[in-house]
Amino acid sequence: MGVVIVGAGQAGFQTAVSLRSEGYDDSIILIGEEPGLPYQRPPLSKGFLAGKQEIESTALRPEGFYTSHRIDVIASERVTGIDRIGLQVELASGKRIPYDKVVLATGARVRKLPLQNHLLYLRDLCDAVEIKDRLDRCDSVRVIGGGFIGLEVAAAACSLGKAVTVVETQSRLMQRCVAPVVSEFYRELHAGHGVKVMLGETAIASRAADLSVAGIGVVPNVELASHAGLATANGIAVDEFLRTTDPAIFAIGDCAEYPNVFADARVRLESVQNAVDQAKCAAANIVGRSRPYRAVPWFWTDQFDAKLQMAGLSSGSDRTVLRGDLETRKFSVFYFKQHGLIGVDSINRPADHLAARRLLATAARITSDQAADEGFDLKSLV
């Protein structure tokens, strides 16, 4: 019967590719609700909005790739149910597809503000095309939300010469995931390019710009799993092998809540890295390799000429150490918890980022003095 993958985003696509790389020879069916072939999401809020990248370049692979790898892509179709007894997935069209294994890569949807119908949101290709079209015809942009997506949209709009205002309800930018020094760096970065940053602002109802875009987080798509009787919490619950409470069904990517060894807790991560690495792990487990998921989480965002690369999970840190010089716009922040390294944020310092991923992967011991000393070779600890 084969593997049915529900969701044709980065995680679903990578699962199909990895299954073939692992030598899986049975049927692979990739089902997505959006039209067209799988594509990359990161460029939508970066290069595409800024006019530096054509939408066609976001395609993950050309059509011929799927044919040559015997991956059947069903686009513009919604999976409405999973018959766990009969081992079939049910489609909105009424079709039923048998399976040996199912991989849920259902992703997440944007969190919306109530009674704000004038707001646009950026999640998929259609959203990006609409926002880009509106950007080309407007003079001013108001962005609700000072997280990654909101700030990337703000940077892209500003680079196009628009008057941009960012409204954030918290007291600093990206408060959920970075230290105050990083938040302040990005506030100054945006302000230096002419972006008006409003912190602690809750009055968002007014139409103070030609175009208003909101980026206030996402909600995991767990309904299909829940209706099938699978355990869900802040995502579809999976074990260390990415199996749901039904061993024939896996869940990966933005929709999956899994036991993270770096956080020592169950977490749900929203990143391309997590989607790709979990897909590879799930594929290995489907073919019987029994591989627990242990990948170091990492993230990135590009805004203007600053590239922030993050390794590990810094939430809960009790001490931060600065490496480098803020004035040079090249520095890293090391996060410690009970004297152990738990995360590193690097701005325009890719070598620090790569070293941090190795340090975290090997659980290498590093002191705060070593982290702060630019003369100390981080690679010597690995």
H/E element, 71: strand 71-74
Q: Dump pLDDT digits (tens) for 281-330.
A: 999 999 999 999 999 999 999 999 999 999 999 999 999 999 999 999 99
Where residue 294 falls (left for φ over 0; alpha for ψ -120 to 50; beta otherwise) is alpha
Q: Is the pLDDT of residue 340 over 60?
A: yes
Q: What are phi and psi of 277, to 5 degrees?
A: -65, -35
Q: Dump pLDDT digits (tens) for 217-261.
A: 999 999 999 999 999 999 999 999 999 999 999 999 999 999 999
Q: What is the mean pLDDT of residues 133-145?
A: 96
Q: Given the DSSP bridges, would you call strands 330-337 and 319-325 parallel, antiparallel or unpaired?
A: antiparallel
Sign of the alpha-carbon torsion through 11, 9, 238, 96: negative
Q: What is the pLDDT of residue 339?
A: 83
pTM of this prediction exceeds 0.85: yes
Integer Cα distance of 75 and 282 in angstroms: 22
H/E element, 5: strand 3-6
**C-beta contacts of 320-325 below 8 A and 24+ residues apart:** 320/179, 320/181, 321/368, 321/371, 321/372, 322/181, 322/372, 323/349, 323/352, 323/371, 323/372, 323/373, 323/374, 324/349, 324/352, 324/374
Q: Is the pLDDT of residue 206 over 60?
A: no
H/E element, 251: strand 249-251
Reported as a pLDDT band with limits 50, 70 and 90, residue 115 is confident
Q: What is the mean pLDDT of residues 88-93?
A: 97
Q: Is the pLDDT of residue 205 over 60?
A: no
Contact 243, 258 (CB under 8 A): no
Integer Cα distance of 249 and 243 in angstroms: 6
Q: Dump pLDDT digits (tens) for 263-288.
A: 999 999 999 999 999 999 999 999 99
Percentage of the chain modeled with pLDDT above 90:
95
Q: Cβ atoms within 10 A of the Cβ of 69, count?
A: 14
Q: Dump pLDDT digits (tens) for 51-87.
A: 999 999 999 999 999 999 999 999 999 999 999 999 9
Q: Report the helix count and the strand count for the chain, using DSSP H and E.
A: 9, 24
What's the burial of 48, exposed, middle or buried (CB within 10 Å: 0-12/13-18/19+)?
Answer: buried
DSSP letters spanning 191-249: HHTT-EEEES-----S--SSEEEE---EEE--HHHHHTT--EESEEE--TTSB-SSTTE
Picking from 141, 195, 202, the residue whose alpha carbon sits closest to that of residue 170 is 202
- Which domains are assigned to the chain? 3-109+218-286 (3.50.50.60), 117-214 (3.50.50.60), 305-381 (3.30.390.30)
Integer Cα distance of 83 and 101 in angstroms: 12
Q: Dump pLDDT digits (tens) for 19-38.
A: 999 999 999 999 999 999 99
Amino acid at position 37, single letter:
L
Integer Cα distance of 220 and 235 in angstroms: 6
Q: Dump pLDDT digits (tens) for 162-194.
A: 999 999 999 999 999 999 999 999 999 999 999
Reported as a pLDDT band with limits 50, 70 and 90, residue 116 is confident
Q: Is the pLDDT of residue 335 over 90?
A: yes
Q: Is the pLDDT of residue 207 over 90?
A: no
